[in-house]
Amino acid sequence: MSINGFLDQNPFVRIVIPYALGIIAHLYVHIPGIVCVAAVCLFLLLAVFFYRRQLSMRFGWVTGFVLFVSLCAMGFATAQLADKPPVPHDVNNYKCNYRACVTNTPSEGERAYKVDLQVEAVKVFGEWQNFDTKIVATIIKDSLARQLKAGQTIIFFSKIDSLNAPKNPFGFDYSQYLQLNGVQGSIFLNQGEWQIANESVRGIRQLALNMRQKLVDILRNAGLSGNEFGLASTLVLGYKNSIDAEVKQAYMNAGAMHVLAVSGMHVGIVCSVLEFLMTLLGGRILLTLKRVIIILLLWAYAFITGLSPSVLRATVMFSFVMFARLINREMSIYNSLAASAFMLLCFDPSLLFKASFQLSYAAVTGIVFFQPRITRLIRVRNKPLRYIWELTAVSFAAQISTLPFCLYYFERTPVYFWMSNIIVSPGAAVMIFLTMTLLAVSPVASLTKIVGYVTSAFAKAMNFVVMSIANLPFSTIENRYISVFQALLVAIAIISATIWIINHKPWGLTAALCSILLFIIPISANKLSACNVHAINVYYSPKSPSVQFVDGLRSYWTCNLYADNKKINTLVKGGNYMWNSLSFEKISPEYHVPSGQISFEKGFFKFCGINGLLIDGSTQPFEFSKADTLDLLIVTSEPAIKARQMPKNLSFRTVVIDASVPPWIMKDWERKFSKCQIHNVKKAGAFIWRLD
């Protein structure tokens, strides 16, 4: 099928692509909202004008082009109007009284709760004034914090902190992620700094979240606990606060993380079960009513899962499919996907930048397109083996289509994803059935105990299998941090190679090879140029000071290289990728390399002609025989010597105070070396000094 033929059969694809491009353009170009709306109206009028003029075939593309630009402008205008201004500087410089609505179920941590707040008003000169902004709050645990529910109104007295840029020049930009999701600030609330002003719940989503919390309590009271309770509540209700980080990591390493996010697969299972139950009521009798009931029950399921964006996406898509059947029309799955994406982006343009949104649509599109073609590669006649092969094909299809996103967002790519999905996919269906049965029989104590025991045992077995697969040798491949452009090149290579394989278009192979070359060449060039690079870096790491000496393709670190003796410390991994280091090792205060490029002696170091001193918790007081000026002083952790104990005849050109140094000690060192160039890592971010 040609591209034009595909677009004619799937008109919403024509709509959603330019609309999404307009939303993306909004990130880079700023135009007043009224101008955007005027542009949309103008281009739509032009499109109608050209269409009514019925241009000749030679100029027929003009109408399509104007419509394309109109949809781009519409996406731009929607994103512009949905934008919220950042927290004003004159407000966040001092503490104020604020009134806010709790917009999600509080997430419980070890010492505090995390919650999203929609700030609605600020008290200025004794009067409440409108103030519209979204923030994230960390609230210290106490008896009052345990009473927090979604939809309640609270009043707090605090300063709203602006979202700061990342402190290190690599890794995930969490502040940008929050901003793309409409968050403009953050706060930290101690006991006594806030109170619940109104316990009544507001908003349909808040009501849904509280309903979900009641169902979560039913599962907890039914005897489920630990990771078994965490799996059941996460898999069926989308409640992610009760599953251990270790189990989450195991599902990620095994390539089964999608099971822990209620999404299209879960809604699809529920839809299939509902369709099966409806067939039990009799063939085609009241067929229209049955399909209406299925749509209503799907939305009821979306409601009890808290109306999360992933569930809404899937529910909208399946509702389109069921509605098409309702009016006796078969709708293309691609058109259903595009229509649901367009509808969601109209309500919330920021969804386009969420990893879950991108992965969800990429995975479903990939499964629909690649799975039948992969299945046909091997014809299996045995029914059980054919079922296993089809599940394996689904896994490969989803992995192919989501590869660019996985390389960009995640630290590692699972190797045994095909193996885990053979077990996890049917296992998830059984878990959904058992958990929903448990919720249904919860009023009957005797049945609750039996079903609860079976559900817990099955969840335990499922967790055991996934963790066993995750612990197999070479279960993951470490990913290199790549840019958006590189991720786009991977996507182009996959699409072009697919066109070449299916349609035998020579340009498809050419485009795929060019994309791969453009992806590889910069990496290889960086490796070659890195041979002559030398640098001293002090990274932002409040808990463990991390200093890196870059010597070409080799790096030396003063911190622990491995987080748990198995995987590389995330900070070390990021620093090594940034500088293209092929080998790395830990150094100690008494360290010498054979080449003599770097050496330490009682904290004093020499590296590439730079003389410096590193002071940490093990540095002993010392005397200096003659006056001298060193290039660099690095102060880390809680120094064993005090600033006033430093020899008066020793000075430094640059002083770096690490983020691991306690604030009261920082002040002493800043006062001591006030005449020097001081870099405070906690305030200014990582210290990067290239020596070439």
pLDDT tens digits, 454-484:
988 998 998 888 888 888 887 777 766 777 8
Q: What span, in angstroms and rounded, lies between the C-alpha atoms of 315 and 263?
A: 9
Rounded to a whole number of angstroms, the CA Rg of the chain reads 29
Task: Tell me what the mean pLDDT of segment 190-199 comes to.
Answer: 83
Reading the block at residue 314, the tokens are 């899937």
How high is the pLDDT of residue 337? 83
Reading the block at residue 564, the tokens are 């748990």
Question: Is the predicted pLDDT of residue 264 greater than 80, yes or no?
Answer: no
Q: What span, in angstroms and rounded, lies between the C-alpha atoms of 438 and 443?
A: 10
**Is 447 exposed, middle or buried (CB count within 10 Å of its CB: 0-12, 13-18, 19+)?**
middle
Q: 680: pLDDT confidence band, cut at 50, 70 and 90?
A: very high
Distance, C-alpha 614 to centroid of its chain: 36
Q: What span, in angstroms and rounded, lies between the C-alpha atoms of 295 and 271?
A: 9
Question: Is the predicted pLDDT of residue 634 greater than 90, yes or no?
Answer: yes
> What 3-state class would DSSP assign to 99?
strand
Mean of per-residue pLDDT scores for the chain: 81
Q: Which residues of 593-618 are buried (b: 16+ CB within 10 A; e: fewer)?
A: eeeebbebeebebbbeebebbbbbee
Task: Tell me what the mean pLDDT of segment 193-208 comes to.
Answer: 78
Reading the block at residue 8, the tokens are 């004619």
Q: Which residues of 360-383 are buried (b: 16+ CB within 10 A; e: fewer)?
A: bbbbbbbbbbbbeebbeeeeeeee
Q: What span, in angstroms and rounded, lies between the C-alpha atoms of 137 and 216?
A: 23
H or E stretch covering 212 = helix 204-221
How high is the pLDDT of residue 658? 92
Classify residue 609 as left (phi > 0), alpha (psi -120 to 50) or beta: left
Question: Is the predicted pLDDT of residue 635 greater than 80, yes or no?
Answer: yes
Beta bridge pairs of residue 227: none
Q: 87: pLDDT confidence band, cut at 50, 70 and 90?
A: low
Distance, C-alpha 158 to centroid of its chain: 28
Q: 172: pLDDT confidence band, cut at 50, 70 and 90?
A: low
Question: Is the predicted pLDDT of residue 647 greater than 80, yes or no?
Answer: yes
Q: What span, in angstroms and rounded, lies between the C-alpha atoms of 442 and 369?
A: 41
pTM above 0.85, yes or no: no
CATH pick for 89-202 out of 1.20.1260, 2.40.50, 3.40.50, 1.10.3470: 2.40.50
Q: What span, in angstroms and rounded, lies between the C-alpha atoms of 39 and 81?
A: 14
Q: Which residue has the tokens 């009271």?
A: 221
Distance, C-alpha 17 to centroid of its chain: 22
For residue 249, give Cα distances in angstroms to 252, 255, 400, 565, 571.
5, 10, 21, 16, 18
Alpha helices in 54-132 (DSSP H): 61-82, 89-92
